[in-house]
């Protein structure tokens, strides 16, 4: 039993893939789910806010439409590395962070935030100091200014911002847990059968993809990742905070 009955959970990226399956599973377990996406949803929800998560003003407008009491947030929305560098930075890191910080203010003790990272962020220790410096920027605009002074190569920007998200989650989670009793964790999928799987093949290149094929049985199904997210949102995970949980069929273990 995951003890989600009656909880209010916000799920971004709700209109497709992992976000859609997360919302379905949450509602099956009795949660009230409010979706956020730039595309209209094709599933039943308890509420929906249409928003572009690449702009602070749009996020702030969405926040005004969200409830005053929120028990959980699943930050599933994201764009692939084939998008522009600016968009990857804004959606996958700066906008996600801004939304999480503001939603956390509405959470009671026992609340949970789950950020979707990636196994492509596993090299974060190599750039830990940079990621910690970015994590300490206090706002969306300050983060943009920091990135202007510390440019990121486009070809590896997806990996960079997934690394940065892991480091932000790890460095900020305990402060949040001690102050408010709100947990924050990452779930790190490996390859997943989603509409943007082809974008990842294009981003990484066929040579890299072929080299990694032997490391896994197959890409994950979206509901397999959703199940981990839902567990981390629920009370059964009440003493898990500040981790980056791989959900990759064991793929990350093969790099040891």
| Token pair belonging to 68 | 């005053």
Tell me the C-alpha distance between 2 and 27, whole Å: 12
Q: Which of 36, 40, 39, 11 is nearest to 25 (CA)?
A: 11
Q: State residue 185 phi and psi, 5-degree precision.
A: -140, 165
Residue with tokens 């590896």: 156
Q: Would residue 158 show up in a list of annotated catalytic residues for this protein?
A: yes
- Tokens standing for residue 105: 């203010």
Q: Do 251 and 215 meet the contact criterion of CB atoms below 8 Å apart?
A: yes
Catalytic residue among 122, 158, 160, 255: 158
The two structure tokens encoding residue 61? 């407008």
What angle is formed at CA 119 by the lines to CA 236 and CA 131, rounded to 5 degrees?
Answer: 95
Which long-range contacts link 22-30 to residues 24+ away (Cβ below 8 Å)? 22/74, 22/76, 22/226, 22/229, 22/230, 24/226, 25/223, 25/226, 25/227, 25/230, 26/230, 26/233, 29/2, 29/4, 29/5, 29/230, 29/234, 30/4, 30/5, 30/6
Q: How far apart are the first and last CA of the chain?
A: 34
Catalytic residues: 158
């Amino acid at each position: 039993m995951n003890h989600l009955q009656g909880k209010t959970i916000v799920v971004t990226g709700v209109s497709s893939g992992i976000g859609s399956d997360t919302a379905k599973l949450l509602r099956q377990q009795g949660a009230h789910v409010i979706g956020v996406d730039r595309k209209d949803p094709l599933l039943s929800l308890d509420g929906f806010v249409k928003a572009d998560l690449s702009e602070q003003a749009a996020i702030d407008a969405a926040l005004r439409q969200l409830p005053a009491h929120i028990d959980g947030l699943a930050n599933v929305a994201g764009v692939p590395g084939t998008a522009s560098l600016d968009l990857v930075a804004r959606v996958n890191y700066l906008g996600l962070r801004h939304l999480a910080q503001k939603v956390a203010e509405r959470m009671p003790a026992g609340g949970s935030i789950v950020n979707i990272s990636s196994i492509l962020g596993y090299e974060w220790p190599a750039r830990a100091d940079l990621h910690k410096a970015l994590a300490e920027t206090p706002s969306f605009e300050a983060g943009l200014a920091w990135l202007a002074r510390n440019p990121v190569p486009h070809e590896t920007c997806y990996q960079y911002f997934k690394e940065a998200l892991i480091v932000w989650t790890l460095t900020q989670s305990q402060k949040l847990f001690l102050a408010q009793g709100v947990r924050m964790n990452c779930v790190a999928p490996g390859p997943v059968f989603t509409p943007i799987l082809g974008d990842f093949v294009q981003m990484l290149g066929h040579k890299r993809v072929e080299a990694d094929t032997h490391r896994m049985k197959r890409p994950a199904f979206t509901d397999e990742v959703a199940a981990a997210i839902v567990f981390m949102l629920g009370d059964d995970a009440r003493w898990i905070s500040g981790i980056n949980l791989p959900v990759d069929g064991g793929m990350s273990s093969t790099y040891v």
